[in-house]
Amino acid sequence: MEKFNPHIIVEPDGNYTPEVRSWSLEKYKLVGSYCDIFTNGMKGRWDQLVYIDLFAGAGYSKIIESGKTYLSSALIAMSIPIPFSKYILCEEDSARFQALKARVEKDYSHLNVTLINGDSNRIIDNVLASIPLFKKGNTLLPFCFVDPYSLNLHFHTIEVLGSKRLMDFLILQALHMDGNRNLSKYIKEENEKIALYLGNDNWRAEFNDSCKEYTANFVKFLADQYLHKMKSMGYLPEKNMHQIRSNEKNLPLYYLAFYSKHPRGIDFYKRIEKYSTPQLKLEM
């Protein structure tokens, strides 16, 4: 059987299509490959497999450098050979949402899809309610992809989904392009962005206390704090962070951080990560 290729080129369809840089293709390859190995490996072991995308976008993206249009995360996940039992797609921006809705209705009407228009941080209870209910003798395993544009993800959002159930997460963490770049703004007492991102109102004092350990490395501090919070929910204490860099100056932009409560999830992630190039891990 031919290996699934997450890089799926499509023709423009007239619906809204955001422009992205070419390094987004590395992200698409990682999330698409994980979806593929996830459903392949878990089919037959679980009654229902659920894909959740909290920042689902428009479904299509146009690469600035090449001018080509590709499927983005949500529609890649719908295109894998063995689909999920259920898809829950959340998008706040109205233009992106309407484009996503049109594309799902046109090409993926055969799948079980719930579309939610809104800020996932504010309507996470709606997302949770869309996950199929457990029934006697029924098993359910979700995978959640989280692709925010900045550190605008609240930890409470992740906690609502992951605290009481098995659920793998792949989370875009904009630690360089937002966190490190805007430290001088976030360190001010009136700014709540990092407190919401980490779920920790006391983060400034902890960062200041640890400056010797971190040598003022805000990126490492954020990564360690996030892992600590995930561990408190039962996630394995293993740092799996795939670094995405710009093509132009090879500058670090963000990480795709993977979290699982089961060793099999970690094994799946490590197996597919080697297919995403370049392989750049978080340097500590």
Identify whether 87 is part of a domain. Answer: yes
| pLDDT on residue 153 | 97
Identify whether 280 is part of a domain. Answer: no
How far, in Å, CA of 15 to CA of 13, rounded?
A: 6
User: Which residues 6+ apart lie within 8 Å of 222 measured at CB?
Assistant: 173, 175, 179, 194, 197, 198
Identify whether 1 is part of a domain. Answer: no
Range of the domain at 161: 9-273
**Token representation of residue 253:** 């932009």
pTM of the model: 0.93
Pick the most confident of 45-54, 203-212, 243-252. 45-54
**What DSSP designation does 180 have?**
I
Q: What backbone torsions phi and psi does residue 94 show, to the nearest 5 degrees?
A: -65, -40
**Token representation of residue 7:** 């890089």
Identify whether 206 is part of a domain. Answer: yes
* DSSP per residue, 194-206: HHHHHT-TTHHHH
pLDDT in tens, 157-192: 999 999 988 999 999 999 988 998 898 899 888 899
pLDDT(282) > 70: no
What is the count of structural domains for the chain?
Answer: 1
∠ at Cα 265 (262, 270), nearest 5°?
130
Identify whether 3 is part of a domain. Answer: no
Identify whether 4 is part of a domain. Answer: no
Identify whether 85 is part of a domain. Answer: yes
pLDDT(10) > 60: yes
pLDDT(215) > 60: no
Mean pLDDT, rounded, for 127-137: 83
Identify whether 143 is part of a domain. Answer: yes
Mean pLDDT, rounded, for 30-36: 96
Nearest to 177 by CA among 260, 266, 63, 253: 253
Q: What is the separation, in whole angstroms, between the first and last Cα of the chain?
A: 39
Report the CATH number at residue 115.
Answer: 3.40.50.150
How far, in Å, CA of 160 to CA of 54, rounded?
A: 13
Q: What backbone torsions phi and psi does residue 165 show, to the nearest 5 degrees?
A: -150, 160
CA 44 to each of CA 3, 32, 38, 47, 86: distance values in angstroms, whole numbers, following the listed order: 20, 20, 12, 7, 15
